């Protein structure tokens, strides 16, 4: 059986600047609803797609990146939640729900299904597997616990704190009895941090003329752990406010993604004087810990001890706009695209 398959296509590489909707096009192709005979591929129907900042780097013709660039003229790829339509792989059968890398299209043929995670727990929203129970959740867990090495009562600062990862880092830190401060780009997001996610303090970085003063106001005793999501001027200000032997898990640097020439950091000497540890990490290196993470986080979700906010755009045709919105802070919480209901 052959059906039509709507797809989001990248027209051409986007070298610098914030991507525009005109950089993408919606195209309809045809796809057979069965895997090739003898193949171990898996054919899935995509239900939810995840919009993530790292995807900006894939829009460039990068040869030295940790992840392949998108191919102009072809569908873009990202994390998503899907239902198996047909399978030639022994680990997956028709009707299974999975999450992992998939195309921005209605149906995808997954050539390497070993990268997929089968969804065993369906008493929580399936969309959570694009966020708290998927890549962003594992990112927060690995970055905070494994790289950040938190201790009870420490001072934690989170940038981009209302996003897919930041909102979880703050809540994990509170579960560790840390004092937690976050920053975001609007009053609505700052209120969310304090009233929904339980941050002790938060500020709108767009309203602060001096980030160093803002940090000293909110964290007068300094910072033990800075969960780095933005880079640029924020990183420079944070370095001045780190405590001795502080840790900086480097998750992302969204302030730099659309620049032709990245900004340099000026206060790196603080790494020496304060004996800091600043470490970048990739979540793929920690996926072996996923079962352990689920054992920790699922009871917290079910007991209402941790919360997660999503911003869901409906329809594949609205996916480019949703993705682009990440870079101007338009989303409130984790940005998800609903492609199809179960």
pLDDT digits (tens, 9 = 90+) for 230-249: 999 999 999 999 999 999 99
In b/e form, how buried is each residue of 170-203, taking b as 16+ CB within 10 angstroms?
Answer: bbbbbebebbbbbbbbeeebbebbeeebebbbbb
pLDDT score of 226: 98
Q: What pTM value is reported for the model?
A: 0.94
pLDDT score of 246: 98
- In 3D, which of 107, 137, 116, 122 has the Cα closest to residue 47? 107
Name the burial class of residue 226, with classes exposed (0-12), middle (13-18) and buried (19+) by CB atoms within 10 angstroms of its CB: buried
166-175 and 187-195 helices, crossing angle to 10°: 30
Low-confidence ranges of the chain (pLDDT < 50): none
pLDDT score of 342: 74
pLDDT score of 165: 97
Distance CA 286, CA 73 (A): 32
pLDDT score of 63: 84
């Amino acid at each position: 059986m052959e059906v039509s398959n709507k797809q989001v296509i990248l027209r051409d590489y986007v070298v610098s600047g914030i991507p525009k909707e005109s950089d993408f096009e919606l195209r309809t192709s045809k796809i057979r609803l069965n895997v090739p005979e003898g193949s171990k591929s898996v054919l899935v129907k995509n239900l939810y797609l995840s919009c993530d900042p790292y995807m900006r780097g894939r829009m460039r013709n990068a040869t030295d990146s940790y992840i392949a660039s998108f191919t102009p003229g072809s569908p873009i790829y990202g994390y998503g939640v899907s239902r198996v339509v047909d399978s030639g792989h022994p680990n997956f059968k028709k009707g299974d729900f999975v999450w992992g890398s998939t195309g921005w299209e209605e149906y995808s043929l997954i050539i390497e299904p070993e990268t997929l995670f089968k969804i065993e727990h369906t008493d929580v929203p399936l969309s959570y597997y694009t966020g708290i129970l998927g890549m962003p959740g594992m990112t927060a867990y690995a970055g905070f616990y494994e790289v950040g090495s938190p201790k009870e009562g420490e001072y934690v600062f989170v940038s981009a704190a209302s996003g897919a990862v930041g909102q979880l880092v703050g809540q994990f830190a509170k579960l560790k009895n840390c004092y937690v401060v976050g920053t975001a780009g609007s009053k609505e997001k700052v209120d969310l941090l304090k009233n929904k996610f339980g941050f002790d303090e938060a500020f709108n970085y767009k309203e602060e003329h001096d980030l160093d003063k803002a940090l000293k106001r909110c964290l007068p005793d300094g910072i033990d752990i800075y969960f780095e999501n933005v880079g640029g001027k924020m990183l420079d200000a944070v370095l001045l406010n780190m405590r001795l032997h502080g840790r900086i898990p480097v998750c992302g640097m969204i302030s730099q993604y659309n620049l032709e020439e990245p900004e340099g950091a000026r206060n790196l000497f603080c790494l020496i004087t304060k004996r800091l540890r600043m470490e970048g990490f990739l979540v793929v290196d920690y996926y072996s810990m996923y079962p352990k993470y689920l054992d920790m986080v699922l009871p917290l979700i079910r007991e209402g001890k941790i919360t997660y906010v999503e911003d869901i755009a409906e329809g594949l045709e609205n996916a480019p706009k949703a993705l682009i919105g990440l870079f101007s802070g338009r989303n409130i919480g984790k940005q998800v695209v609903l492609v199809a209901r179960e």
